[in-house]
Structure 1
Amino acid sequence: MREPAARPRSSHAVSRRLPWLLACAFMLAGCGLQPASQFIPEVSAGPELEKYPGFDGAEITVSSKDFTEQLVLGKMTSLVLSAAGAQVTDKTNIKGSVNARLSMLDGEVDVMWEYTGTAWIVYMGHPDPIADPAEQFQAVADEDLAQNQIVWTRPAPLNNSYAIAVKQATADKYGLVNISDITELPVAERTFCLEAEFINRNDGFVGMKQTYGFTDADIPPGNVQSMDTGLIYNRIGGSCTFGEVFDTDGRIPANGLVTLTDDKHFFPIYQPALTVRQEIYQRSPQIGEIFADLAARLTTDVMRGLNAQVDVDGRDPVYVAEDWLMEQGFLAS
């Protein structure tokens, strides 16, 4: 997700990549470096941003992955840096985590928001997540800096992890609070709408069943439907009782859903933080302070609301980001 000047990488850094990550490198030209929209409104710094040193025309390439939350976060980053005096190239909307990561490692882009769980499990190849959020963040940050010269700024408190959602009315009827409570329902009503990949992933449905001790008698295979992620939200409470969602998705409250607490702490933690190539960070260290301040305000509920403005209300991510930054005082209104 970055652009100018590829930097040399050590052979050790390259060896840290997963084999399939390297296998995807050839796809970069056709899978991502064309943003859906490079438009960034002309903005000026608000009082919260004026507290920090400016960027004095520093050239910074900003990007994101290609889903709503990433687009909103990416546009926030472009707007803040532009208002603070940087010359920003917007390369948001790279398709897929693999392509986004490779473009960061190759120095084609300079900053992007990344998730702790994704980096630890997918990029760094660790099979087991760390349950404590602070420890997980520190482990990711230390390894990425040492191996790839990528700096992680302070993470947001939100957690965009997998979650199991149910209609509020169903939760109230059966007293459903935790994932463990699923067995409170009659077997015939323990039905699930899940995305195909999630069904077979060890950090998805397979692992969840094992962790919670759910057998095929508890959740018969015939009770599980496979479908595209976008269809799941409208099917919960209809063709299925439960569905796989992402915890910060704005369609959760919009569809009258609630998420069950992961009481056995199975799902990995996915806290986002702005990641920055070390070369850029050393040149403009204030980027760490600015985005630590911004990230601290991004709770799960806040992010759900921002995502809903895009996915439910149909607003452009750049204007959702701009309005929120004005409300928070980072941009002048």
Structure 2
Amino acid sequence: MGQHIQLSLLSLLIALIIAIPLAIWATSHHRFANFLLQLTGIFQTIPSLALLGLLIPFVGIGNAPAIIALVIYALLPIFQNTYVGLSEIDPSYEEAANAFGMSRLQKLLRVELPIAMPVIISGVRTAMVLIIGTATLAALIGAGGLGTLILLGIDRNDPALTLLGAIAAALLAMIFSWGLLWLQRVKLKTTLVTLGVLLLGVLGVYGYQAVVKPPMTVTIAGKLGSEPDILINMYAQLIKADNPKAEVVLKPNFGQTSFLFNALKSNQIDLYPEFTGTVLESLTKPTAADKKAAQTNSYPVAKRLLASQGLTMTPPMAYNNTYAVVVTKKFAQANHITTISDLAKVANKLKAGFDLEFIDRQDGYKGLQSTYGLSFAVKSLDASLRYTALHQGTINITDGYSTDSQIRQYNLVALKDDQHLFPTYQGAPLMKTEFADEHPAIVKQLNRLAGKISETDMQEMNYEVNVQKKAPASVARAYLTKHGLLKEARS
């Protein structure tokens, strides 16, 4: 909630600083007013996800692209209402102000703005509600906010979490709308003072967070889902066990692979759990020889290629969280399917729902086409919705990971990859080499997970979080305690 309020208020205040002076200027330059109205209107038509994606290459991820996008969406209602409110003032008031010998500034502050204020505040209210609603998407790019609860609820198939985030955002919009309605009824001076206090408060919080930091802060992020959430809690608990004074900041559900990788390279985070297969397929450019060597052991190849980018990956855990092609047990038995190759005989029956990343990867649907010669209709589905769609019968085949709890939960079958399309996906913390060199104690603690956690262990932990609704932190602690890792770390 605090993150959501900070993002929303700062975005609104920046939009006010841009739009209101621009609208005041436009009242004296009418031929530019229509152009500015059309321009701000065009901004409104840009899909929010597309806008965030366009901003990431220029400003990275986190708060910056979220604030820029929110400001862009807030400009139209504020600019439009301010311009209309000032343009439609009865000319007799202007004449009276001139008769009293008021200067341009005096006339603006004492006559025009007070008369136009109800219309201006109405636009600000519209912008505020728009900002609070759109700010839920900030969670997709690591900026936090109430959208984190919504995404978490979708990912875990937990309607309560989704409703919690949605209702909280709606209530927040109502509260701020009521506050702005109150400003609409008070004097201009009170309105300006209130906005000034809000501006100083928001800037003060951001300034404090930027300047005052604990002696040592480690920021750990994770991708969407229960498994990364469990792993980052393990990392945090191991680090804290060795150094209780260390400040560990967790950023769960940070987004897709590209978001985390860019955040790591731009020093917005210090480390995150990554997999050797993803390194070789998406983050580096291995040669044919590298790919052949990776079939035997992917970690040394991934480590060497990452080193050329100034990155370090610690020794991996035991389990192989590779891609899987998943069907229901009923469908597999009815069609006598046990391997991916068997799908060729029922290709005309297949209704696939894959996530966008799998559709676009060579070790995904493209690989199914080239390696297995398969071709069938595919719909793109968000990763968090694909198992629900499979269980409900909307689709009859989807992609997944070998450790997904839903395979157990819904009694599904992961088909055997008999042509060895999917590379090995062994997980380990990924960080900058510079960070690893500066914090050998942290690396030592994280290395304690090397060779630990089997596929059965990971699937069971995912099941506890997704189905039994246990907290990722408690599940992580239970595993570390059971295997003596926390106890040994304290000694």
Superposition TM-score, scaled by structure 2 size: 0.52
The one of 64, 83, 91 equivalent to 2:250 is 91
Matched, 1:165 2:326: yes
Distance 1:249 1:25, change over 3 A: farther
Match runs of 1:177-256 below 5 Å: 177-185=338-346, 187-214=347-374, 216=375, 219=376, 221=377, 224-236=378-390, 238-256=393-411
What displacement does 1:189 show?
3.1
Q: Quick one: which amino acid aligns to residue 140 of structure 1?
A: A
Contact 1:168–1:258 at 8 Å: present in 2 too?
A: yes
Cα distance in 1 for partners of 2:381, 2:225 equals 18
Q: Quick one: which amino acid aligns to residue 115 of structure 1?
A: F
What displacement does 1:164 show?
0.6
Cα distance in 1 for partners of 2:239, 2:334 equals 48
Gaps of 5+ in 1: 1-19, 38-56
Question: Per the alignment, in what secondary structure is the counterpart of residue 270 of structure 1?
Answer: coil
Distance 1:25 1:99, change over 3 A: farther
What displacement does 1:27 show?
3.6
More strand by share: 1
Map of 2:194 onto structure 1 = none
Alignment deviations for residues 79-122 of structure 1 (CA, whole Å, 9 cap, x no partner): 11101115032132223322322232233333321122222332
The one of 62, 72, 91 equivalent to 1:28 is 62
Map of 2:73 onto structure 1 = none
The number of residue pairs the alignment matches comes to 287
Greater C-alpha radius of gyration = 2
Q: Quick one: which amino acid aligns to residue 32 of structure 1?
A: G
Map of 1:153 onto structure 2 = 314
Alignment deviations for residues 3-53 of structure 1 (CA, whole Å, 9 cap, x no partner): xxxxxxxxxxxxxxxxx997264443332154869xxxxxxxxxxxxxxxx
Match runs of 1:57-68 below 5 Å: 59-68=217-226
What displacement does 1:181 show?
1.4
Report the identity percentage: 24
The higher relative CO (CA closer than 8 Å, separation ≥ 6) is in 1
Question: Per the alignment, in what secondary structure is the counterpart of residue 384 of structure 2?
Answer: helix
Distance 1:70 1:21, change over 3 A: farther
Match runs of 1:1-333 below 5 Å: 23=57, 25-29=59-63, 30=66, 31-34=141-144, 59-85=217-243, 87-93=246-252, 94-126=254-286, 130=291, 132=294, 135-148=297-310, 150-185=311-346, 187-214=347-374, 216=375, 219=376, 221=377, 224-236=378-390, 238-332=393-487
Cα distance in 1 for partners of 2:360, 2:312 equals 33
Q: Quick one: which amino acid aligns to residue 384 of structure 2?
A: G
Map of 2:51 onto structure 1 = none
Gaps of 5+ in 2: 1-53, 67-140, 150-214
Cα distance in 2 for partners of 1:75, 1:248 equals 18
Question: Per the alignment, in what secondary structure is the counterpart of residue 486 of structure 2?
Answer: coil
Superposition TM-score, scaled by structure 1 size: 0.74
Contact 1:157–1:296 at 8 Å: present in 2 too?
A: yes
Cα distance in 1 for partners of 2:486, 2:331 equals 42
What displacement does 1:156 show?
1.6
Contact 1:21–1:98 at 8 Å: present in 2 too?
A: no
Structure 1 vs Structure 2 CA RMSD: 3.1
Question: Per the alignment, in what secondary structure is the counterpart of residue 130 of structure 1?
Answer: helix
